[in-house]
Amino acid sequence: MDVIINLANDIFKPILAMGGPIIMLIILTVLALLFGVKFSKALEGGIKLAIALTGIGAIIGMLNGAFSASLAKFVENTGIQLNITDVGWAPLATITWGSAWTLYFLLVMLIVNVVMLAMKKTDTLDVDIFDIWHLSITGLLIKWYADNNGVSQGVSLFIATAAVVLVGVLKIINSDLMKPTFDDLLNAPSSSPMTSTHMNYMMNPVIMVLDKIFEKFFPGLDKYDFDAAKLNKKIGFWGSKFFIGFILGIVIGLMGTSTPSCWSRRCIFMGTCY
C-alpha cells in the first residue's frame, strides 16, 4: 500500500503543484475533447473555468483582508469568542483539489458511473468533474480520522472509498429522480439532457415530503413567493444584490469600528464583492 501511495504522490504532486485552476483547465479541456468538442471551444471552456476559480479565490481573499480587522475588533468589543471562521466552499474546494486522493476518487466515480450506465441502473452521465470535491472531502475526512485512530492505511482507504461510492451512487440516482422536476422548471421536453448531480439536490427528497406536509396543513402558503429575484422586481434598487452587500458592509463596519471612514469604505467594498 505504501508503494502505491508513494507512486501516486510522485505522479500527481507535479500536477497539483500547478494549482487548482490550471488542473481544472486541463481536465475540462481534455474531457471536452473526448466528447467531440472542437479544440478551440474546449480550450475556451477550460480557460473560462480557470479564470472563474481564480476570480472567486481573489474575491474571497479581498473580503478576508478587508473585514478580518473589523471582525476581530467586534470580538474584542463584545467579548464573544469566535474560534471558527466559515471560509465558504471555494477554499474547501481548493484544499480538496490539492490532494492527490481527489483524482483517485474521481477515477473511482467515473468507473462506477460507467458501470451503472452499462447495467442500465442510471440514465445520468456525471460530467460535473469539478464538484467531485464534494465526495472527495468526505473521503478525505474519513481517511484522516481512520489514519489517526490506529486503522491501517489499506483499511482506511477502503472505508473512505466505500463511503465515496455510496454517496456518489445515491447522488447519481437522485439526479435521475430529479430529471422531471428540472424539465418542469425549465419548460424543457422530456428528451432534454438536463439534470444535475450537485450535492445540494440530495436534500430534495426530504424537501418534497415537507412540501406535501405544508400543502396539507398550510394550503395558502405556496401563494407567497419570496426570494431575492422577486424582491428586486418589487422594490427595484433597494432589493438589488449590491445594495444588500452595501448594508452588510455598514453593519460589519459598525460592529467592529467607530470610525466613519472605516465602515464607509467597507460598505462600498462589500457592495462591490456581493
pLDDT in tens, 96-151: 877 778 888 988 999 999 999 999 999 988 878 878 889 999 999 999 999 899 88
Among candidates 269, 220, 216, 274, which has minimal Cα distance to 242?
Answer: 274
Measured CA to CA in angstroms, residue 244 lies from 189, 224, 237 at distances of 37, 21, 10
pLDDT at 274: 60
54: Cβ–Cβ under 8 A, 6 or more apart, which residues?
21
Question: How far is residue 184's CA from residue 25's CA, in Å, rounded to a whole number?
Answer: 33
Nearest 5°: phi and psi at 248?
-60, -40
Q: Which residues of the chain have pLDDT under 50?
A: none
- 205: Cβ contacts below 8 Å, ≥ 6 apart: 174, 177
| Burial state string for 62-81 with b = 16 or more CB within 10 A and e = fewer than 16 | ebeebbeebeebbeeeeeee
Q: Other CB atoms closer than 10 Å to residue 196's CB: what's the count? A: 18
Q: How many whole angstroms separate alpha carbon 203 and alpha carbon 107?
A: 25
Which pLDDT score, from 0 to 100, does residue 229 have?
A: 67
162 near 109, Cβ under 8 Å?
A: no
